[in-house]
Structure 1
Amino acid sequence: MDRENNIDRRVKKTRQVLKDALISLMAEKDFSNITVQDITRVADVNRATFYSHYHDKIDLIQKIAEENLSELNEILMKRSDGFRSYELLVEIFEHLSEHSEFYTIMLSSNRFPRFWKRLYTIFRNATNHNSEIFDSNDSIPQDILNSYILGAYFGVMIQWIKRGMPYTPKYMAEKLASIKTVI
């Protein structure tokens, strides 16, 4: 059993080193110019090791994206009070901050439109899961209000990432939570 745990730890560590290598390379140059050889050089592993975990660099970036988006989706779907919750907003901003280099790279380029769409879809699905993000008065249909708030929150989060996350996750959550009282 202990041997299995050691193998699992080594596999996890190797995968993490490869992911980190790709992300750091993407901060330096365009994804299309990165080779598997570049990734293995930065990660300090051989090509056979890379191919034992991933088919190619596209498979690697897709796995990184899937892991981060799945984690974000879990955060969004576990709460029933939707975007009304300060605690949820803190969790969202902390997740974005924890994976800041990845999100900064993916969102600062137009080269990954499917990623943008997936990210927005995760937020959209969360609003559908929690159909009433904010209380609506009778003059504004709930679906219109939800779309408006989703667009505003999503835009604020994207700009926060693109500007280098100048405020703490708690500060951002506090400010977004206070906006709902203005609307």
Structure 2
Amino acid sequence: MEHTSKDLRVRRTLKAIRSAFYELVLTKNYSDISITELTDLAEINRKTFYLHYSSLDDLVKEVEQEIVDHILQNVRMSAEQMDVAGCVDNFYHYLDECDEVQQKLLCDSHYYFFYEDVTDAVLKSNAFSRFFEMTKHPDIVRSYSICITFIYRNWLKNGRPIPLDELIEYASMIIAKGYSGIIEKEA
């Protein structure tokens, strides 16, 4: 459900809902967030929430779509040119520049469903269609492509042990060349 009202009260209400949701995301797992808690924090009543969203999942879908749109803005050109390294570079820089809420939604294991929905939408977009159309088993290739985010999430979880640019270079090689592309050859 896209909200584009010009009514100031509606925009304030939607902003309050979104702010309350983001605050709860930072402190709770999704399964622990209730509509009552969200509406209390947003200082609105439940009925007002339901005027704008049919459920908490409806709000999540809206946030997911916004993030998909932002990711595609960042990687579309590289994807359309079938530039794997460019996709990884742009995507990692996007993730690195995300705010705390977006990083939690995309990288925290308690929000794995969110990450899966966003990743699925990005990889099924027109920008990525050529990557998969040229293969015999597009679903297998799409599954392999998901590794890009796992690499970043693990790097983040481990406290960023190497510089971002080195991570980008290494992840690009792994994705583009597979394991054989990163094995250190004996001298």
TM-score with structure 2 setting the length = 0.61
Q: Which runs of 5+ in 1 are unaligned?
A: 134-140
For 1:156, the equivalent position in structure 2 comes to 151
Q: Deviations over 1:133-175 (max 9, x none)?
A: 9xxxxxxx997x9669625423212324545667776665455
- Matched residue type, 2:104: T
Q: Deviations over 1:14-42 (max 9, x none)?
A: 32331231132133233333222211222
- Matched residue type, 1:26: V
Q: Which runs of 5+ in 2 are unaligned?
A: 182-187
For 1:82, the equivalent position in structure 2 comes to 82
Pairwise mapping of residues 9-158 of structure 1 onto structure 2 (< 5 A)?
A: 11-79=10-78, 80-86=80-86, 88-97=87-96, 98-105=98-105, 107-109=107-109, 112-113=112-113, 115-122=114-121, 124-125=123-124, 127-130=128-131, 150-158=145-153
Pick closer, same or farther for the CA change 1:10–1:116 going to 2, 3 Å. same
For 2:184, the equivalent position in structure 1 comes to none
> Tell me, what secondary structure is at the counterpart of 1:45?
coil
Pick closer, same or farther for the CA change 1:102–1:36 going to 2, 3 Å. same
Cα distance in 1 between the residues matched to 2:57 and 2:102? 15
- Matched residue type, 2:91: I
Native 8 Å contact 2:17 2:42 kept in 1 = yes
Native 8 Å contact 1:127 1:146 kept in 2 = no
155-164 vs 32-41, which deviates more?
Answer: 155-164
Cα distance in 2 between the residues matched to 1:171 and 1:18? 39
> Tell me, what secondary structure is at the counterpart of 2:109?
coil
TM-aligned CA deviation for residue 116 of structure 1 = 4.1
Cα distance in 1 between the residues matched to 2:128 and 2:16? 35
Cα distance in 2 between the residues matched to 1:90 and 1:11? 38
Pick closer, same or farther for the CA change 1:170–1:15 going to 2, 3 Å. farther
Cα distance in 2 between the residues matched to 1:36 and 1:62? 15
Cα distance in 2 between the residues matched to 1:38 and 1:129? 44
Cα distance in 2 between the residues matched to 1:161 and 1:11? 37
